[in-house]
A and B are shown apart, each in its own frame.
Chain A
Amino acid sequence: MADTIAMEVARYQPGEDGAPTMARYDVPLRKDWVVLDGLNYIKDEIDGTVTFRWSCRMGICGSCGMTVNGEPKLTCATFLTDYAPGPVRVEPLANFPVIRDLVVDIDDFLDKLSEVKPWIVRDEAPLSAGEYLQTPEQLEEYRQYSMCINCMLCYSACPVYGLDPEFVGPAAIALAQRYNLDSRDEGAAERLDVLIHPEGLWACTFVGDCTRVCPKHVDPAGAIQRYKLTAALDTLKHYVLPRGGR
């Protein structure tokens, strides 16, 4: 194994650069080093201006998503050795505006997350009533969708979001579905009202790449298709039984 590997890092300085350029750095190649360790080495030892986000280095905080050799990845879980002999190309997540270097603007997602009401909708019972009962099977029904770390890899992989930024997007819809499927929640109808518009559920064409790149196996694509089925049945019911309502 060679003892160094070249990293090509996208650089973009707002106000100065019209478009990102690539800079090349050689970093030590160690068995336990991930792409993020390479970036930290560059920042600490070579060039303090290289800019990226990171925090936990154990795949749970969701900060360090970037595009590595064309694929959206959590850079804390992507070993440099897998790209030997190199070079490793590190770019910001696709489909988002770039603030600087490898840092992208994800505020759009946070706005959309709020829209889908990702909280338990119901009149809260007093604490003295104890817990809302939920069997392990009922928990299992939504558990997978509750694992989203908001790392944005799915938005980066989604061509629909890239072409139409109005699309609510994989993670936000999966999180809406997480609450819909929670036995304690009563807000499914409210959320459906938010998501039934053309930029909601129906914009998804089931490319399926969101699910493929998800580091936490959330399967947003599956969540959206299930949601579409619910929405379609709901609409059908509405036509057949106009007075029955939901």
Chain B
Amino acid sequence: MTTSHDIIVVGGGGAGLRAAIAAAETIPGIDVAVVSKVYPMRSHTVSAEGGAAGAIAEDDSLDEHAYDTISGGDWLCDQDAVEIFVKDAPKELLRLEHWGCPWSRQPDGRIAVRPFGGMKKQRTWFAADKTGFHLLHTLFQTSLKYDGVHRYDEWYVSKLLVDDGRVQGVVAVELTTGRIETITAKAVILTTGGCGRVFPFTTNAAIKTGDGMALAYRAGAPLKDMEFIQYHPTGLPFTGILITEAARAEGGYLLNKDGYRYLQDYNLGTPTPTPVLRSMELGPRDRLSQAFEHEVAKGRTIDTPYGPVVHLDLRHLGAKLIDTKLPFVRELCLKYQNIDPVTELVPVRPVVHYTMGGVHTDIDGATPVDGLFAAGEVACVSINGANRLGSNSLPELLVFGTRAGRAAAWHVFRHGKEPTQAVLSQAADERRRLQKDVLEHDGGDERISAIRTSMQTTMEESAGIYRSGDSLAKAADTLGELQERLPRAALDDRSLAFNTELIAALELSAMLDVAESIVASALRREESRGAHQRTDFPARDDNRFLAHSLAVREADGSCRVDYLPVTITRWAPGERVYGR
């Protein structure tokens, strides 16, 4: 069966919903489909806690927000994009206010802003400690009033249809029935989020498997700056639940297996009983993560079923302070990991948090493939450079979701064309592939979960916080082997109805492609910058690498890495100012 819309938005999170609304508002009567593998309000935007940056305070300015973003990103941000971003961010946050987002307020009723790591002024808008949740539900509920927005809830897109140099639609599986359908369109916007699940320990939800990145990569769009993976120093092992910096700001200690505050051994100051800004536990995030790696190497971490951890000790703060200042931390520990920080040590370790890289787009979300757009974490514009600042990701998905939605709508209006015959036969091939090669495939004895675990372990060991040429080359080989093993994995589940194992197989295939692009890009970047730390090239090298990497998929499936100069407008590269 074939259906058709003007625009298909793949992904129903913050960026996708914002793009859909923007498209519907730009061209009245336009027909937008939001195709998402989960109900939109389940999307991972929902998990963002901290807030959304937008300069509105009287002592703040757009230039300062831009500078914080650029220096925090170790000068790998495109400055033209950042300038647009900081200018549009407050407007977008205000629009969300008009749509009902319950932003926290000052006593006089105006929006409240608060400080946030890396931002030198107070510019983070927040909705208590559930900003992403409120933002997503506001967008979802608002989207319900647009008749032009049609939802395909719980449909998984397995392929982009590209012919004649332009994208013309998708092939998607309806989970409920197993029906495989061709949906054609004059433009496609990818808003599927990042790929944190390529790694074993991540704050990312189970759905963040890099699907959109793989779709674009296979369709010929390059993936930009994929080597930059942001770690957060204190996540709960196993669940990956994030324990906010506030826990350390209130005076929490990080201890190794000897109960020793090990950060003092890594040039992060001397221990004091009460917290000191920018010292010890309040040092920069990446330095804390790196110190953890050194402790592992020295054998001074604690072994658990989930690998090595260190302890976050909050016990000395007492129940009263924890309940008044850190209630959410205690709630998360108690409710989801069965640990009480008032009486117990909290096991923590660095966890993957965000992918700075993504599908290469311009400032309107357009990719090099005609008619294909991307926005949000799946895309790389780039405003995050080598390291994203906290509270920039929510405004990013609003600003660039809107721009992509508008640009796609105009694209349809001006250049929209009907699908070619070749594309329909491509779709038929894809349907056959899903049916024969995946669902009915009798392969060998490989299990999907085993291949997935190998991939995650490989990525953690070789492309984690520290990388080296040797470890990355080895990882590339291992990933190649896993790619060969994947077709030998047979599904237990042959049912058409809600076959989550089929989806898991397709997701794993996407993750392997994305993992290869991460490793290839990391291998080629022979310098250390932001989140990319090479032990064999410990310094930043602006002569060779003040450039974006572009991972391009060759016809044989291998990954070629090209470079694109960074756009510098007003801020010459300087020392990176470590934000906290």
Contacts and interface: CB of A to CB of B under 8 A. Distances in A.
Bind each other: yes
Contact of A119 (B100, B107, B176, B239): B100
Given A49-B492, A110-B153, A99 B97 contact: no
Interface in A45-73: 45, 47-49, 51-63
B336 A119 contact: no
B134 A146 contact: yes
Contacts of A52: 500
Contacts of A44: 447, 449
B46 A131 contact: no
A61 B47 contact: yes
B495 A119 contact: no
Given A125-B98, A132-B98, A56 B46 contact: yes
A139 interface: yes
Given A49-B492, A57-B336, A133 B42 contact: no
B500 A34 contact: no
B104 A56 contact: no
Contacts of A31: 338
A81 interface: yes
A61 B97 contact: no
B422 interface: no
B563 interface: no
Interface in A103-119: 103, 105-107, 110, 113-114, 117-119
B206 to A, nearest CB: 5
Interface string B162-197: 000000000000001000000000000000000000
A55 B102 contact: no
A65 to B, nearest CB: 11
Contact of A133 (B109, B142, B239, B491): B109
Contact of A13 (B144, B145, B449, B495): B495
Nearest to B332: A58
B108 A133 contact: yes
Interface string B231-244: 00000001111000
A45 B42 contact: no
A179 B100 contact: yes
B141 A48 contact: no
Contacts of B39: 63, 106, 110, 150
B570 interface: no
Contacts of B108: 133, 135
A234 B102 CA distance: 27
Interface size range on A against B? 35 or more
Given A14-B497, A15-B497, A77-B335, A55 B98 contact: no
B95 A127 contact: yes
Nearest to A54: B206
Nearest to A14: B497
Contact of A48 (B38, B102, B107, B492): B492
A117 B41 contact: no
A245 interface: no
A61 B449 CA distance: 23
Interface size range on B against A? 35 or more
A59 to B, nearest CB: 6
A20 B205 CA distance: 29
Interface in B303-349: 305, 332, 335-339
A13 to B, nearest CB: 6
Grouping DSSP codes into helix (H, G, I), strand (E, B) and loop, the B interface class, with mixed when no group exceeds half, is loop
Nearest to A142: B102
B399 to A, nearest CB: 14
A136 interface: yes
A49 B495 contact: yes
A230 interface: no
Contact of A136 (B107, B153, B332): B107
B359 to A, nearest CB: 22
A40 B60 CA distance: 47
A21 interface: no
A134 interface: yes
A139 B104 contact: yes
Contacts of A184: 98, 100
B80 interface: no
A49 B496 CA distance: 11
B105 interface: yes
Interface in A84-98: none
B524 interface: no
B210 to A, nearest CB: 15
B99 interface: yes
B38 A63 contact: yes
A49 B98 contact: no
Contacts of A100: 495, 497-498
B443 to A, nearest CB: 13
A79 interface: yes
B144 A113 contact: yes
B44 interface: yes
Interface in B98-129: 98-100, 102-111
Given A15-B497, A60-B133, A127-B95, 20 more contacts: A44-B447, A51-B498, A59-B335, A60-B46, A60-B47, A61-B44, A81-B338, A117-B145, A119-B145, A131-B94, A131-B97, A131-B110, A132-B97, A132-B98, A133-B110, A139-B102, A142-B102, A143-B102, A146-B134, A149-B46
Q: Which 7 A-B pairs have the closest CB atoms?
A: A133-B109, A48-B492, A44-B449, A118-B141, A49-B493, A120-B100, A56-B205
21 contacts: A34-B336, A48-B492, A49-B493, A51-B493, A51-B500, A55-B42, A56-B47, A56-B206, A57-B205, A60-B47, A61-B41, A61-B46, A76-B336, A105-B176, A107-B153, A113-B144, A119-B99, A131-B111, A135-B109, A146-B137, A179-B100
